[in-house]
Structure 1
Amino acid sequence: MKKLFLCAAFAAFAFTNVNAQEVKFGAKAGLNLATIGGDFEDAESLTSFHIGGVAEIMISDKFSVQPELLYNSVGASTDYTESFEGVTVNAEGKIKLNYISLPIMAKYYVAEGFSVEAGPQIGFLMSANEEYEVSGGGFSESGDEDVKDNFKSIDFGFGIGAGYKMESGLNFALRYNLGLSNIAEDAGDDFSAQNNVFQVSVGYTF
């Protein structure tokens, strides 16, 4: 799958270098509503963020290719309560995974300023931390642990979304990134986990 994504990226850039009519650069930032799917139990959404740069390469008046370079914070939260012999124990946790992400989106303008988009994404894991807090029966403990060794260094996904760009260059976008690869390291064939992220972005094209 890694070779497939690299070939797709190379083909996109090679095609745009030959046929591009115009290239515009910009920046974007926004909100991530992330969770971990698959066999990861008790996963709830984690609110985080993304920020980075974009280049929109116009192939025609209707079609463009948009590579991006993003700092992308994703993960999941957990919150569960359980009783043991009359004692109620509450446990809360957050897994925060920070990636350098490289999406390559194909965009099609369906109307003036309005576009739909889809394309692959590769992410390189920079850090992974788990924050936890356990309390109950007069007992309380909290901590922050580095768990980067529990996750694979590369993640693959596929994004689909829509956007609106104003004449001033200000733009807005919604995107859903579906995880395609198992991010769990050495978890065995019976366990899988994927990053799934809904993004709301605001950007500016120069």
Structure 2
Amino acid sequence: MKRILLLGILSWLFFNVQAQRFEGGLVGGLNASQVDGDFTTGYHKPGVSFGGYVQTDLSMRFYAGAEIKYNQKGSRKNPDRETQDQEKYIMRLGYMDVPVYLGIRTSESISFIAGASVGYLMHSGEWENHGPFPEEDERPFNNFDFQALLGSRWQINDRLKVELRIAYSFLPIRDLPGDIYWYWWDDQYNNVISTSLYYRLGK
């Protein structure tokens, strides 16, 4: 009886999934990032992102999706010859992110998305003029990054689409003591602008 019930549930799930409009594929792109709360300003830290996505239509106008991808974030300050500022600083952060989102189509080729993402910190590091930060100056980052996201998409053809997305941490990625002179906030937050290309696999 249990086997029959299990088979029935699996069959129902299979046919229910087949009845929906699911698509999946690959996603890759470039990031421009900064960390709000450090002494740098501007989206000067480049990075890459790549992974996969799955998406389903909720109606003709609305859809939902999820991704899993590797994302490079952080911040960067280069020496400025004009101001004679010789200070250099690089923060490199690598996350495995899982964004989920809802989308709305405003035309056949344009849509907008909103959602949230959770990321697990896979590696981190900070550098200055003389190399990596000394161990006694290192401050640990939080293991997880929780971000809100907004974006817009353009459908190029049946398989390709381009997306412009902004994502911002709504919980700090690192808590800092207030007496460290090079930070102007007590906490730090990832701030990322990304451009991505989506390629649909399958029929």
Same fold (TM over 0.5): yes
C-alpha distance after superposition, 1:52-104 (max 9, x if no partner): 100011111111111000100000012357xxxxxx77121210100000110
Distance 1:102 1:159 in 2: 12
Partner residue in 2 for 1:34: 33
C-alpha distance after superposition, 1:91-133 (max 9, x if no partner): 2121010000011010111100211000011111000011322
C-alpha distance after superposition, 1:147-191 (max 9, x if no partner): 986200011111001001233311100000011111114646x71
Partner residue in 1 for 2:198: 203
Q: Secondary structure at the match of 2:147?
A: strand
Whether the 8 Å CA contact 1:21–1:60 is kept in 2: the answer is: no
Q: Secondary structure at the match of 2:39?
A: coil
Structure showing the higher strand proportion among its residues: 1
Partner residue in 1 for 2:6: none
Distance 1:125 1:21 in 2: 34
Alignment of 1:1-206 (within 5 A): 21-37=20-36, 39-44=37-42, 45-79=44-78, 90-133=86-129, 141-143=130-132, 150-185=140-175, 187=177, 191-206=186-201
Percent pairwise identity = 24
The one-letter amino acid paired with 1:41 is F
Partner residue in 2 for 1:85: none
Task: Provide TM-score, normalisation by structure 1.
Answer: 0.76
Task: Provide TM-score, normalisation by structure 2.
Answer: 0.77
Distance verdict in 2 for CA 1:70–1:192, change over 3 Å: same
Partner residue in 1 for 2:3: none
Q: Which consecutive residues of structure 1, in runs of 5 or more, have no partner in the other structure? A: 1-16, 82-87, 134-140
Distance verdict in 2 for CA 1:112–1:73, change over 3 Å: same
Q: Secondary structure at the match of 1:100?
A: strand
Distance 1:76 1:204 in 2: 29
Partner residue in 1 for 2:8: none
The one-letter amino acid paired with 1:40 is D
Count of aligned residue pairs for this structure pair: 176
Distance verdict in 2 for CA 1:148–1:91, change over 3 Å: closer
